[in-house]
């Protein structure tokens, strides 16, 4: 299985590969940009961008100084392990690094496809409604972490944050939830601590 080969390669290279999944408009790319800028002096990082069309997001990532490869899926609604392997051949991420895989924006298809990543990270913005974990349970069941983004907008929206977290735990009792704002930076260092805790054979936090 190609996903297993990808996983074995990541393990051999000591690369922490994370599959970032969300619906369009969650702020996933903005969150990734901030992460890359905040951590660029600490870690080696690279990105594979998945979209149906355009290279817009890859250009945004490269503007941070991070190496990125764009994969366009055309009519496809998700990345697959073979696409990732092809992207890795172009990207050549260095050993002892973090690889972020920004999947195509939707909360359905990517849940079903193993790319060989260490974990799926679901990004959900508070502009989407608190019931998304119940509407798209497979995505939140498949994810190890949920980043609840755009919390800076809470004063302006009718959003029950505790209910949203409860719904996420209803479908996946083990999912960890962090409240963040990629715009203001609130909660982002909890996300960075989580990254540090998911290293393979060495501690990202000690680098």
Give DSSP secondary structure letters for 89-144.
Answer: HHH-PPSSEEEEEE--S-SSGGGG---S-SEEEEEEETTS-TTHHHHSHHHHHH-S
pLDDT at res. 167: 98
Residue 201 has pLDDT above 50, yes or no: no
> What ranges do the domains of the chain cover?
2-197
Q: What is the average per-residue pLDDT within 132-153?
A: 97
Q: What is the pLDDT of residue 206?
A: 38
Give the H/E segment covering residue 15.
strand 15-22
Segment 149-165 mean pLDDT: 96
Average pLDDT for residues 108-124, to the nearest whole number?
95
pLDDT tens-digit series, residues 44-77? 999 999 988 888 889 999 999 999 999 998 888 8
pLDDT of 205 reads 40
Of all residues in the chain, the percent with pLDDT exceeding 70 is 96
- pLDDT value, residue 52: 85
Lowest-pLDDT choice from 50-54, 106-110, 125-129, 171-175 = 50-54
pTM summary value: 0.93
pLDDT bucket at 1, cuts 50 / 70 / 90: confident
The predicted structure's pLDDT at residue 57:
85
- Specify whether the CB–CB gap between 20 and 102 falls below 8 A: yes
What CATH number should be reported for the domain whose range is 2-197?
A: 3.40.50.300
Average the pLDDT over 197-203 and give the result.
61
pLDDT of residue 74: 83
Question: For the range 6-12, what are the long-range contacts, defined as Cβ-Cβ under 8 Å and sequence gap of 24 or more?
Answer: 6/81, 6/84, 6/85, 6/88, 6/115, 6/116, 6/117, 7/116, 7/117, 8/116, 9/88, 9/116, 10/99, 10/116, 10/117, 10/118, 11/200
């Amino acid at each position: 299985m190609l996903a297993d080969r990808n996983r074995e390669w990541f393990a051999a290279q000591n690369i922490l590969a994370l599959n970032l999944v969300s619906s369009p408009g969650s702020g996933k790319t903005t969150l990734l940009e901030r992460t890359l800028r905040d951590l660029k002096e600490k870690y080696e990082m690279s990105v594979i961008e998945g979209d149906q069309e355009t290279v817009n997001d890859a250009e945004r990532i490269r503007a941070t100084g991070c190496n990125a490869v764009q994969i366009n899926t055309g009519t496809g609604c998700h990345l697959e392990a073979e696409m990732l392997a092809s992207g890795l051949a172009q990207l050549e991420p260095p050993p002892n690094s973090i690889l972020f895989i920004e999947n195509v924006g939707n909360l359905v298809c990517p849940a079903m496809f193993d790319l060989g990543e260490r974990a799926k990270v679901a990004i959900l913005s508070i502009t989407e409604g608190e019931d998304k974990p119940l509407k798209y349970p497979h995505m939140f069941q498949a994810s190890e972490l949920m980043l609840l983004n755009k919390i800076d907008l809470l004063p302006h929206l009718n959003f029950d944050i505790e209910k949203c977290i409860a719904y996420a735990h209803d479908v996946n009792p083990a999912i960890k939830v962090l409240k963040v704002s990629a715009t203001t930076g609130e909660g982002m260092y909890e996300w960075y601590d989580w990254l540090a805790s998911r290293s393979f054979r060495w501690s990202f936090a000690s680098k």
